[in-house]
Amino acid sequence: MSKLWGGRFTKETNKLVEDFTASIEFDKELALEDIQGSIAHVQMLSDCSIISEDDAVTIKHGLKMIEKKIVAGEVEFSVAHEDIHMNIETLLIDEIGPVGGKLHTGRSRNDQVATDMHLYLKKQTQSIITLLTDVQKSILFKSKENVHTILPGYTHLQRAQPVSFAHHLMAYFWMLERDKERLQDSLKRINWSPLGAGALAGTTFPIDREQTASLLGFERVYPNSMDAVSDRDFIVEFLSHASLIMTHISRLSEELVIWSSQEFQFIELDDSFCTGSSIMPQKKNPDVPELLRAKTGRVYGNLVGLLTVLKGLPLAYNKDMQEDKEGMFDTVRTLDGSLRLLAPMIETMTVNQENMFAAVSQDFSNATDIADYLVTKGLPFRQAHEIIGKIVLYAINQDKYLLGLSLEEYQQFSPLFTGDIFEILQPKHVVDARKSEGGTSFEQVKNQLALAEKYI
Residue numbers annotated as active site: 156, 277
Alpha-carbon span 146 to 269, nearest angstrom: 16
Whole-number Å distance between alpha carbons of 143 and 69: 47
Q: Are 302 and 330 in contact (CB under 8 A)?
A: yes
Contact 373, 345 (CB under 8 A): no
3-state secondary structure of 214: helix
* Sequence-separated (6 or more) residues with CB below 8 Å from residue 278: none
Cα–Cα distance for residue pair 335/338, rounded to 1 Å: 5
Chain centroid to CA 230: how far?
Answer: 25
- C-alpha 367/C-alpha 413 separation (Å) is 14
Helix (H/G/I), strand (E/B), else coil: 38? helix
The three-class DSSP label of residue 187 is: helix
* Three-class secondary structure of residue 451 per DSSP: helix
The DSSP result for 84-151, as a single string, is HHHHHHHHHHHHH-GGGGGGGTT--HHHHHHHHHHHHHHHHHHHHHHHHHHHHHHHHHHHHTTTT-EE
Gap between the Cα atoms of 321 and 178, Å rounded: 30
Cα–Cα distance, 165 to 146 (Å, whole number): 6
